[in-house]
Amino acid sequence: MHDHRTGGLIQLSMSEPQKMPDDVTPLDAVEASFGELLAEAARRLRSGMPVLVECDKDMTVFVYKILRDRLKKDGIGCIYLDGQERKSGVAGDPAGQSRSLMDSIVGQLREAVRGLVDGKVVVLPHLDLLTVSQQDLTTQGREVVPLLHENPELVWLGFNDPSYTLPPVVAHLFPWKASLVGIPRDRIVKLVTRREMAKFGVDFSPIDLYKHVSGLNPVRLRKILSRIEGPDFPDTPRGALSQIRQATVAGQLEIPHVDLDKDIGGYSDVKKHLNEEILDILARRDHAPNEESRQRLERLIPRGIIFWGPPGTGKTLFAKAFATSLGAAVIVVSGPELKSKWVGQSESNLRRIFHQARMSAPSVIVFDEIDSFAVKRGTYLGSGAEHSLVNQLLTEMDGFRREELVFVIGTTNFAESLDPALLRPGRFEYQLEIPYPDEEARRSILQIYDKTWGLAFSREALEKAVDRTRHNVPGAAPGTHFSGDHLQALCRSLARERLRADRTSDTTPSDIESALTAMHRLPKMTPAEQRVVAIHESGHALATLMTPNSPPLRRISLQDDVVGTSGYVECFSRPNRHVTTLGEMLDRICVLMGGREAERMLLGDVSLGSTMDIQMATHIARELVEVHGLGSETLAPLNVRGATTERQDIWGIEQRDRLDSAINTILDLQRLRCASILKAHKDLVEALAEILLEKQSIEAAELSLQLKGKGKEIPVSSSLERRPL
């Protein structure tokens, strides 16, 4: 099937009012928009070739009239099968019978196929009503298909709504298709009257108007423009454009109001990329001097974007802010909404969404959790509908016209799981990570919610909230950091508490602690349990202070604000992140032994709370020996993990025993080293444990002062004074 789409390049000075007509009827608008294409359709029909016209329902009658008049000049008549009874031509319903519209169309079709209609074009204005979804015919459709193929001498003119896909058995009947979707940009000047253009102001041109109406068909455009109210030559086009926007938003689309800078805190890199890669180019396009320049700039703009990152970081919010920046409508779609148990219905749902978005252009389609249906083909064990959805999505995206301002955004937590075909140039070629918010972003997000809910953060409270949300989220899965959603939940909790207390004073650091504690409460430890944990964490802390390659100590805590722990020792990040030395790894093992050895020294027993420490220490030692060839002078440098299975089998038990012995040696030496350090500073371990039990948490900056209050001094050789650069 040949698919003839609209296009063309005409250099126009769109601001010249004399190029605009004084009046435009809907029929004139269709002719002006698609005249050449309809002339070709008429030529094909005259030659005896069936033609399929893809257009919106409200255009069908006007397209038919244009083609009918063109054919009439050559003495070719048309039979219009719309199910309505006529005085002449093919009859509709027999007298005295009441039938549905489709039954009447089938009756007309049967008489046309088997009657005397030689030399006439048979018109099917409601061809799409024969189907309910892709490859699934209605009851009448099953009767119609044989009729369509019964008389090969007939010349068909069929009409199909763009939001539906005809079954192949019907579509193959038409060797030539005219797709009348949207409005060609170079024709917009012929579709707007001078009077209507005056409603947008002196400096507004049809090209400026085009991006707001590109998805409309000419008939609907004329209806909307003719109803615009307002004065001629207003100061701004805002009022007229607002009326257009309200009239063009179709289906489930909505107009978002999310400011990229004011409503989203932090993420300066993400905002910079969106501006530089898309928004700035679109602004240049709007001020391009000619059509050639506009098309050149449009070729630079990615139409598909993937926002990927962990849950709750604002991927959908960024999509809505992006739409707001474009002045676009937005529709958010989830995978389950698209899927259907009926064959072909999922693809029809997707096609309908794209059609609505095009009619409402400028628009943004957001596929939330796109990986729910667009995973790599061959890796999903579902019903198979997912693969069909991926294929349909690719088809729809490949069918975009460059001048259409329709963007497709997919959000996902697992970008690596997406089908590679989606990530090709011209599709989702632009991927942008939305990570957990860093310190700057958390501060900005909290300031936005502070202003929104009147939380009256004191400076100390704000910094406390920023600092305390750098950990994993209490009660969440390991590795779950505070996201924008978590920060919003924290601020909502503060707002509810202020409302209950009818409070207007500033939010304090203690309020932050209370709100965070309320987010997740573990069963309270007994005093005896708290003492064990305090000694355990004090052992880790002192080992950190006394090992030269450990990162700077930041905080010691007995609070359960890090997931899976009853206490923790936190350090600053290593200043050198690109080079890791053997000394750093050995110190890490030594520090991991600190909790267990402190318990052994002061309690004469060990708790099972050190299980994870031993597991991590063993992992590091094994990596040193088997991967990096380090940590043992008795073994030559060798990457055991990189060896083939056959080679490992040749080594046998003796070689494996030597590797295990080297790992055990590393672990035991660091355990003895840690025990020696703690024994030499036993009084400091005890003092640290007492302070922890009293304060519950200690910042490194306060540690020296707290110890001096108990008559203790940290040795000069400790690493307490090391600070991040």
> Does 537 participate in catalysis according to the annotation?
yes
3 state SS for 593-626: CHHHHHHHHHHCCCCHHHHHHHHHHHHHHHHHHH
Which residues, 6 or more positions from 407, have their beta carbon under 8 angstroms from its beta carbon? 303, 304, 305, 322, 323, 326, 328, 363, 364, 365
Using CA atoms, how far apart are residues 278 and 270, in angstroms rounded to an integer? 12
Pairing of strands 553-557, 568-571: antiparallel
Catalytic residue among 513, 537, 599, 626: 537
Using CA atoms, how far apart are residues 627 and 699, in angstroms rounded to an integer? 37
Using CA atoms, how far apart are residues 190 and 69, in angstroms rounded to an integer? 21
Which residues, 6 or more positions from 579, have their beta carbon under 8 angstroms from its beta carbon? none
Cα atoms in the 13 Å half-sphere on the side-chain side of 318 = 32
Q: Which residue type does 520 have?
A: H
Residue closest to 214 by CA, chosen among 193, 234, 191? 191
Pairing of strands 430-433, 406-412: unpaired
Residue closest to 422 by CA, chosen among 387, 385, 388, 374? 374
Phi-psi sector, 267: left (phi>0), alpha (psi -120 to 50), beta:
left
Query: ∠ CA 331-333-337 to the nearest 5 degrees?
Result: 135
Q: Which two tokens stand for residue 322?
A: 């992006």
Q: Which two tokens stand for residue 711?
A: 């008559």
Helix (H) or strand (E) holding 132: strand 131-133
Using CA atoms, how far apart are residues 272 and 284, in angstroms rounded to an integer? 16
Cα atoms in the 13 Å half-sphere on the side-chain side of 658 = 12
Q: Which residue type does 582 have?
A: L
Number of other CB atoms surrounding residue 426 within 10 Å: 12
Query: Do 123 and 42 form a contact (C-beta atoms < 8 A)?
Result: no
Task: List the catalytic residues.
Answer: 537
